[in-house]
């Protein structure tokens, strides 16, 4: 996944700040403000901006890491988002137990998601498709909750008009085209990057809904029961922002994208204008992959194949 690769400010504010691991006593003091707790079972260091302390069997304490603070990632925003989603019990996400600060420590206490990250399991075939369809259904329900609090809130950034969305996509395309012009990476498509970018922008008319997005519902944040290989839920809403639902579908493989879309449309088909924006967003994602050395040769090869398919259409 690409994450929120169009964020305007994605730098760590204090990269030199110390990043101490809390003692068990410190963790339990924070958790016991909101719920009884006996012991810390494990410290999860896999998160980029937050450290997670797994407490007892059903509780997680997330702490913002001082040297990884950036404007678009916020535990306060994550708590706000999850509290809004709690109105629909069928949306499988962590539930907020408590949020607060103590000294210079910002924390979020929440329920622990069952299962393991999809990224760690290597699931393929029909089971993979079923998981992604379930994720698509969850995203549709997530986007269907009342959006008024998100639009009116100052804590959730993003696009609040079609013009702002158009600017977001145009900016990403400009960056991708510039990267092609300055990169030594091969360009093996019959259309120039400038022509492809213009074609995408010209295809956008009415863009459809603008909703609060998870930002990166990818393999590391999608949880699965390792025994049944069934979807269990979605975690980590700290990068949430407002924009088009298509930004939630940016998995690399076409079969993954189509499985997500099938699940998303299970409760109602999308109209052609929304699907046009969906194609534009995914194509912009492929251009970004193709022009960045951050991605593997296999990922860039897949992005080329995706773009070739677009040109054939």
Q: What is the pLDDT of residue 80?
A: 97
Least confident of 60-74, 138-152, 190-204, 254-268: 60-74
Average pLDDT of the chain is 88
Q: What pLDDT score does 117 carry?
A: 96
Whose tokens are 């009415």? That residue is: 206
In the block, residue with structure tokens 């990403």: 172
Q: Are 73 and 158 members of one domain?
A: no
What pLDDT, in 10s, does the model give residues 18-30?
778 999 999 999 9
DSSP tag of 160: -
Q: Higher model confidence: residue 110 or residue 4?
A: 110
Q: Report pLDDT digits (tens) over 258-309.
A: 999 999 999 888 888 788 888 888 888 888 888 777 888 888 888 888 888 8
Q: Answer yes or no: is pLDDT of 310 > 50.
A: yes
DSSP labels, 235-276? ---TT-EEE-GGGGG--SSHHHHHHHHHHHGGGSPPPHHHHH
Distances (CA, A) of 296 to 73, 203, 303, 305: 26, 29, 11, 14
Domain boundary among 80, 111, 142: 111
Same domain, 53 and 194: no
Structure tokens at 7: 């964020």
How confident is the model over 60-67, as a mean pLDDT? 85
pLDDT tens column, 186-220:
777 888 888 888 888 888 866 678 999 999 999 99
- What local confidence, expressed as pLDDT, does residue 111 receive? 97
Q: How confident is the model at residue 241 (pLDDT cuts 50, 70, 90)?
A: very high
How much is the pLDDT for 190? 85
Q: Is residue 192 domain-shared with residue 160, that is, in the same domain? A: yes
Residue 144: Cβ within 10 Å count:
14
Q: Which residues contact 180 (CB under 8 A, 6 or more apart)?
A: 187, 193, 290, 291
Check whether residue 171 and residue 282 sit in a common domain: yes
Domain boundary pick from 111, 134, 164: 111
Assess whether 189 and 237 both reside in one domain: yes
Residue 295: its pLDDT value, please? 84
Query: Which one has a higher pLDDT value, 67 or 280?
Result: 280
Say what the pLDDT of residue 206 is: 67
Q: Could you tell me if 100 and 224 lie in one domain?
A: no
Model confidence at 179, pLDDT cuts 50, 70, 90, reads confident
Under the banding of pLDDT at 50, 70 and 90, the label for residue 4 is very low
pTM score of the predicted model: 0.88
pLDDT exceeds cutoff 50 at 36: yes
* 237 closest CA partner among 215, 265, 262: 215
Nearest to 165 by CA among 248, 276, 55, 244: 244
Boundary-marking domain end, from 64, 87, 111: 111
Domain identity same for 70 and 164: no
Triad 276, 280, 286: Cα angle to 5° = 145
Least-confidence region, from 60-74, 82-96, 123-137: 60-74
- CATH code (residue 176): 3.90.1200.10
Host domain of residue 130:
116-312
Helix (H, G, I), strand (E, B) or coil at 192: coil
250 and 288, same domain (yes or no):
yes
- What integer pLDDT is reported at residue 15 of this predicted model? 60
Q: Are 79 and 204 contained in the same domain?
A: no
Same domain for 120 and 92, yes or no, is no
Shared domain for 239 and 140, answered yes or no, is: yes
Q: Which of 243, 248, 81 is nearest to 161 (CA)?
A: 243
Residues 191 and 76 in one domain: no
SS3 state at 18? coil
Question: Which tokens is 180 given?
Answer: 């092609």
- Give the pLDDT mean for 156-162: 92
Looking at the chain, which runs of residues are DSSP E strands?
40-44, 50-55, 59-64, 96-102, 105-111, 116-117, 211-213, 222-225, 230-234, 241-243
Q: Rounded to an integer, what distance in angstroms lies between the CA atom of residue 224 and that of residue 131?
A: 8
Q: What does the pLDDT read at residue 97?
A: 97
């Amino acid at each position: 996944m690409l994450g929120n690769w169009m964020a305007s400010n994605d730098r760590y504010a204090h990269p030199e700040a110390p990043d101490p691991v809390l003692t068990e006593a410190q963790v339990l003091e924070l958790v016991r403000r909101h719920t009884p707790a006996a012991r810390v079972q494990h410290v999860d260091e896999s998160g980029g901006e937050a450290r997670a302390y797994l407490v007892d069997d059903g509780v997680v304490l997330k702490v913002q890491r001082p040297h990884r603070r950036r404007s678009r990632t916020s535990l306060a925003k994550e708590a706000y988002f999850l509290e809004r989603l709690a109105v629909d019990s069928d949306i499988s996400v962590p539930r907020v137990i408590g949020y607060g600060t103590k000294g210079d420590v910002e924390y979020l206490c929440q329920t622990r998601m069952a299962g393991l990250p999809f990224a760690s399991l290597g699931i393929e075939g029909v089971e993979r498709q079923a998981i992604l369809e379930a994720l698509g259904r969850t995203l549709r329900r997530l986007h269907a909750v009342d959006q008024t609090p998100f639009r009116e809130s100052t804590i959730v950034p993003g696009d609040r008009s079609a013009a702002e969305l158009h600017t977001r996509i145009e900016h990403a395309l400009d960056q991708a085209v510039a990267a092609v012009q300055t990169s030594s990476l091969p360009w093996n498509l019959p259309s120039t990057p400038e022509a492809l970018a213009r074609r995408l922008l010209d295809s956008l008319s009415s863009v459809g809904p603008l909703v609060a997005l998870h930002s990166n519902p990818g393999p590391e944040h999608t949880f699965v029961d390792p025994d049944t290989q069934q979807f269990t839920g979605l975690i980590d809403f700290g990068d949430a922002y407002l924009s088009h639902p298509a930004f939630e579908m940016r998995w690399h493989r076409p079969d993954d994208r189509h499985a997500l879309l099938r699940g998303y449309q299970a409760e109602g088909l999308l109209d052609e204008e929304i699907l046009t924006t969906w194609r534009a967003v995914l194509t912009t994602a492929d251009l970004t992959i193709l022009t960045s050395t951050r991605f593997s040769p296999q990922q860039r090869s897949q992005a080329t194949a995706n773009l070739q398919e677009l040109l054939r259409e």
